[in-house]
Structure 1
């Protein structure tokens, strides 16, 4: 995300619970992904978890960007 998107997110999150929830989930997934990726060796279960987290993070980011695009189009 670029700085403009983060600023718009910070501006709109207090008034949009869905946007706020998506952002919080995105940050949580990012931390979990980073923690697993930092491991030198991952078990098959951890590999599966990592794939699932990345998928959830991507799905959430897609929804997040759609909402931000909507706000941008509205000129907020």
Structure 2
């Protein structure tokens, strides 16, 4: 039964969009982490990306939870 929910979540357009955005944020954060020194703007960007990434993860988890509970969003 869990597989059915996983497949449903994986096919959810909003979940897929959020997942891609989460990956994009992760890639940018990794690029920033590899820099020896961040500019002030890059430090602000890093903080913003971390907050946004967490919000994306929270929304993805809410969607997955709604599928587990049998509720559509």
Q: TM-score, normalised by structure 1?
A: 0.77
Larger relative contact order (CA 8 Å, sep ≥ 6): 2
| Superposition TM-score, scaled by structure 2 size | 0.80
| Unaligned stretches of 5+ residues in structure 1 | none
Moved over 2 A (4+): none
Structure having the larger proportion of residues in helix: 1
Alignment partner of 1:36 is 2:32: yes
Structure 2 gap segments, 5+ residues each = none
| Aligned CA-pair RMSD | 1.7
Per-residue deviation, 1:70: 1.2
Structure ID, larger Rg: 2
